Amino acid sequence: MRAAVLTEVNKPLQILDLEQEPPKANEVRVQVKAAGVCMSDWHIMNGDWPLPLPMVLGHEAAGIVVENGPGVSTVKPGDHVIFSFRPNCGHCRYCSSGRSVLCIGHNDTPRWLMHDGTARVKLNGTPINQMARIGTFSEFVVCPAEQVVKVRKDLPFTHAAIIGCSVATGVGAVIRHAKVAAGASVLVGIPAFAARAPISPFNMVFTEKTISGTYYGSVRPDIDFPILADLDMEKKLDLDSLISRTYRFDEINEGFRLLTLGEVARGVIVFN
């Protein structure tokens, strides 16, 4: 199968033919149908976030399950799924308290390998890393089953893909802000914090305000992705307006060029 691989920082992605092993225990194989072109991938491409290369990039995507490894019961072949770039072990203190995006249950293995510490894709026998254990700039992905969430089949794959990162992060942050607003809290994301003057500690004390951060919109992917899918299909979210352009897989580097020029809101790669 083909995948877009970063082999060197500040170089274009290379679409290479890779060998892919079948899913092992608690893993699935997914045919990717759409994948978003995101700045998080660009931060790896330009060296802002140093990670071991070569690596299949991509983390915002959706597709169809084609094969289950032993022990998988949450999805089955034929299910439409959205990828989550965060693990969900289900038993660490964060997962147990409903904050799975902060999961620490798999910290004993690198986040670019499977939970057993091995790779599922190789180039001429050499292991290739997968961004966030998924690496969705790929025709097929083998990944932990906990990182895919079943959604309704009438949801367009382009919409499903961006729900997996940008929509979940943005909508989740707004919802989190609404929850804390009753306590006169202030939600500050990195861009907003950098763009405005610091909040006076004196004013915060005497008005009992708090500053609250949010990662991945503080969403619960297994619960919130299907909810966001329903909101989109009910026309309560306008995801069409977010998608400026779609690309063929072989146009992926053009997608990143336009992204860095600020000429698109969200570009999405559509796989045949």
In b/e form, how buried is each residue of 80-118, taking b as 16+ CB within 10 angstroms? bbbbbbbbbbeebebbeeeebbebebbeeeebbbbbeee
| DSSP character at residue 23 | P
Q: Is residue 80 flagged as an active site residue?
A: no
Which has the closest alpha carbon to 164: 21, 28, 33? 33
Q: Is residue 106 flagged as an active site residue?
A: no
Q: Is residue 165 flagged as an active site residue?
A: yes
Strands 80-83, 121-123: pairing kind: unpaired
Are 168 and 237 a contacting pair, CB within 8 Å? Answer: no
- Catalytic option among 84, 100, 165, 166: 165
Output helix, strand, coil percentages for the chain, rounded to the nearest 5: 35, 25, 40
Q: Is residue 89 flagged as an active site residue?
A: no
Inter-CA distances, 163 with 36, 65, 102, 193, Å: 10, 17, 18, 24
Which residues pair with residue 67 across a beta bridge?
29
Q: What single letter denotes the amino acid at residue 14?
A: Q
- Catalytic option among 59, 80, 115, 159: 59
Are 171 and 228 a contacting pair, CB within 8 Å? Answer: yes
CA 260 and chain centroid, separation: 19
CA 252, 81, 72: angle at the middle one, nearest 5? 125
Q: Is residue 38 flagged as an active site residue?
A: yes
Which has the closest alpha carbon to 58: 256, 257, 272? 256
Which has the closest alpha carbon to 89: 147, 128, 43? 147
Q: How far apart are CA 226 and CA 51, in angstroms?
A: 31
Catalytic residue ranges: 38, 40, 43, 59, 165
